[in-house]
Amino acid sequence: MARKVKISTIGFPYLPLDASLPHSEIWDKMKEYLTKQIKQVLPDRPDLIVLPEVCDLPDHHPPSLYDAFLNYRGNGNINFFGRIAKENHCNISFSTISRGNGDYFFNSTYLLNRNGSIAGVYDKYYVVPIEYSWNIRCGLQTPLIPLDFGKVACIICFDLNFDDLRDRYRDLKPDLIIFASMFHGGLMQQMWAQTCRAHFVGSIAHSRPSAILNPLGETLAYSTNDFNYATATANLDCATICLRDKTQIGELKKAYGPDGVTLFDPGNIGYHLLTSERDDVSVWEMIEKFGIMTYDEHLHNSRKLHNDPANQGIQV
């Protein structure tokens, strides 16, 4: 059945503040700044708002002040974002520096549900050397966090570079990947979307383009130099398929109506994105009924043929 989720991503620069200011003033100014950023997308009534890496700390905040500032703020950031989530009936993803179970920190992404409660937390898996010097440690878990529209995976900044982490998530099969970062990552964003067969949303600080991608790595919406936010509706009831018999798309539309199913063809890659727009039938039911091969099945069959000794030869 169609699972449409409206996603807003915002990419904004960090707020420059004098570190010598009282913690109360720093936090008040941060809340004012964050509120201004979030208000831009509220007219779209998104189901999910995604914010950048460590979005609730000011620019160039000395690591030596983390401890004192976090002591002052406590759960104030969770309460602040949670109130916005509850008042606007939306999920919110925000990243911050959080305390570990000891005298160390994590670079973490929190997912809050529509009630403002914590749905799950992801701690950055691959921490860069300078973060270690700030007593920020690496996380060990790759959770799939349940929200009302599907299962969400999170990565932060440097994580984007690691094939082994991407392969772990590929096997977990998330519906959506959230990427909070200070760097964009270029084509690696597309690689993650394609490899994991998942929608992908990046929220990039420093005014770099933030975007929402479909599972083929195609861009649904992106921020620009004029607007530092983007909103798009993604239908998560979709699958990547290998359409060997092209007449099947006509048969699907006869069965479910011209508006009941969509096929997205990016060209050049040999596979497509099939999406159910119906409320009474899922894309997987469509695939089973019409005997459509998924792209992963196509690859599996090719590997199976390759590994059969009867199909192997030696060059003379």
pLDDT in tens, 262-308: 999 999 999 999 999 999 999 999 999 999 999 999 999 999 999 99
| Single residue among 235, 259, 283 that ends a domain in this structure | 235
pLDDT in tens, 135-194: 999 999 999 999 999 999 999 999 999 999 999 999 999 999 999 999 999 999 999 999
The DSSP 8-state label assigned to residue 41 in this structure reads T
pLDDT of residue 172: 97
Tell me if 309 is assigned to some domain. Answer: no
Whether the per-residue pLDDT at 100 is higher than 80: the answer is yes
C-alpha distances out from residue 225 to 46, 135, 204, 206, 229, Å: 21, 35, 13, 11, 10
End-to-end distance of the chain based on CA atoms, in angstroms? 54
Residues 225 and 259 in one domain: no
Amino acid in the structure at residue 261: V
Residues 228 and 246 in one domain: no
Per DSSP, the three-state class of 280 is coil
Tell me if 33 is assigned to some domain. Answer: yes
Other residues' Cβ atoms within 10 Å of the Cβ of residue 282: 16
pTM, entire model: 0.96
Crossing angle between the packed helical segments 66-73 and 23-39, to the nearest 10 degrees: 70
Pull the structure tokens for residue 289: 């009924």
pLDDT of residue 280: 96
295, 242 contact by CB (below 8 A) = yes
255, 281 contact by CB (below 8 A) = no
176-181, strands of its sheet edge to edge: 145-147, 150-156, 176-181, 199-204, 211-213, 219-222
The DSSP 8-state label assigned to residue 237 in this structure reads S
**CA distance linking residue 260 with residue 279, whole number of Å:** 9
Residues 110 and 12 in one domain: yes
Amino acid in the structure at residue 103: D
- Burial call 259-268: b when 16+ CB within 10 Å, e when fewer: ebbbeeeeee
Task: Please tell me the total count of domains within the chain.
Answer: 2
Structural domain of residue 135, as residue ranges? 4-235
Residues 274 and 163 in one domain: no
